[in-house]
Amino acid sequence: MALASKIISVLVLSLFCCLDMLCVNATSYREMLVMGQSVGNSDTLVSKGGNYELGFFTRNRENSIKYYYVGIWFKKVANDKIVWVANRDYEPQTSSAFLTIHDDGNIVIIDGGMIRYVTGAPSNNNRISTYATLLDTGNLVLVNKSNQVILWQSFDNPTDTLLPGMTLGHDTYTGRTWSLRSWKRTDDPSTGPFTLRYDSGFGYLSDSNGSNVVWINDDSDVPIQEIFNQVDFKLKPSYGLNYATLTINSNSRFILEASGDLKYQAWSEEYRQWIFLQFYQCVTNNSCGHFSVCTPKAVDACQCLYGFEKYDSDSWSKGDRSAGCVRINKLSCNTNNNKDEFHPLNISVKSLPHHVHRQVDKLSQCNDICFTNCSCVLYAYDISNGNCMLWNDQVPTLKNTSTEYAYNNINNYNLKFFLRVAGPDRPSTSKLKEFL
């Protein structure tokens, strides 16, 4: 009887060991995708060292519709930032979509009867045997199986993130350009309004209109080139080859946010999270929308001006602040019961948005000019030279270079700002009369 019990125990232990081995095999990672295989909604590819993972991820947008994207993310952190998106401007809405290698050797997404190409490797109308593999650098490569030549790589097609070894710039021989393009919103990976590029030894950040925008960092305007130097781009300008390669350590990343802000982060094994090394806020023109102030040194950089509120709080939380702020209460300037007042803003602004300019003798004259024009919503007076600057109807983001933003306080700078405030929004006391 004892012998039988021992035999049964051994058999049970063996069975559990076999089941355990089966489970290990069932959850083992694969780094390679070959012809005839696919990656579906519940499958992933994982780089050999376990640094990066490729698979489908979802985002809910309009009317709670779920969109499916193929992306690469840092595997060591759950729900981590997506570093690359294969189909940012085409998003299946069904979980049946899958990633595979087409007959011509290219990586494609198949969604029902639709075939969407991820790669564009030349086939010369011949069937090429290829395979795709995810490297530990975060680079997805498509390889010709017969000669091991890389036909395509995700590092040549970046989205909003630069990983170590990636490049910004232009190759005049091949015509290839490497640039970052922001997400549209934090919940929408489709192509956004901001582009970061490198050309002729200089870096540029531009918006969808092609206008170059300037960094505001600390208390001065900082050229983008200084940012490149701080983040350790290795610049390689030469005849025909005009590019910069990111040479930071292997656990770092450089992100162009949907807002146009830039983040430089490093991974901390000790704390198991990303640590900000540099965070460049308020970098774009009108970065927080109309009737707002942006303070680079503040944790929450964007704030509405006094008497205003966020037009769309949900969009703000997702990185899209383009709608800016709106008045809480309407002005009464055009009525017989005008209770509008001007109140000081304690901000320091070096780069002024477009405005109307007048020359006056004293601040009270500037105040009167604005007060008698119902379209005038903000004025600034420079006590050093008598310049009176007026803003009518709309006020783009004011980039505040002081450490904080406060209303109803006179600042200690030569340039004094005063905002038209509706009667119901008036502070209990005003310091304007003390200053006039």
Domains along the chain with CATH numbers: 31-156 (2.90.10.10), 158-285 (2.90.10), 293-435 (no CATH)
At 360, which helix (H) or strand (E)? none
What whole-number distance in Å separates Cα of residue 358 and Cα of residue 385?
11
pLDDT in tens, 186-201: 888 999 988 888 776 6
pLDDT confidence of residue 313: 87
Farthest-apart Cα atoms in the chain, separation:
111
Write out pLDDT tens, residues 150-164: 999 999 999 999 998
Spatial distance between the Cα atoms of 311 and 191, rounded to a whole number of angstroms? 23
CA distance 284 to 282: 6
pLDDT of residue 420: 92
- What is the C-alpha separation between 360 and 372, in angstroms, rounded? 15
pLDDT-derived band at 229, boundaries 50, 70, 90:
low
Structure tokens at 235: 């610049």
pLDDT band at 21 (very low <50, low <70, confident <90, very high): very low
Helix (H, G, I), strand (E, B) or coil at 5: helix
Q: Which of 220-229, 267-276, 317-326, 361-370 has the lowest mean pLDDT?
A: 220-229
Most confident of 49-63, 330-344, 346-360, 400-414: 49-63
Distance CA 9, CA 276 (A): 54
Look at residues 266, 198, 208 and name the one whose alpha carbon lies nearest to residue 233. 198
pLDDT, the chain, mean: 79
Res 327: pLDDT: 93
Highest mean pLDDT among 67-71, 177-181, 211-215, 228-232: 67-71
Q: Cα 392 vs. chain centroid, distance in angstroms? A: 31
Whether 59 and 185 have beta carbons less than 8 Å apart is answered as: no
Tokens describing residue 176 = 């290839």
% pLDDT > 70, the chain: 73
CA-based R_g, the chain, Å: 28
Relative to beta strand 241-246, strand 161-162 is: unpaired
- Would you place residue 125 in the very low, low, confident or very high pLDDT band (cuts 50, 70, 90)? low
In this predicted structure, what is the pLDDT of residue 247?
Answer: 63
- Region 416-429: what's the mean pLDDT? 78
Provide the CB-side half-sphere exposure for 234 (13 A, CA). 9
Please report which residue ranges of 185-295 form alpha helices under DSSP H.
224-231
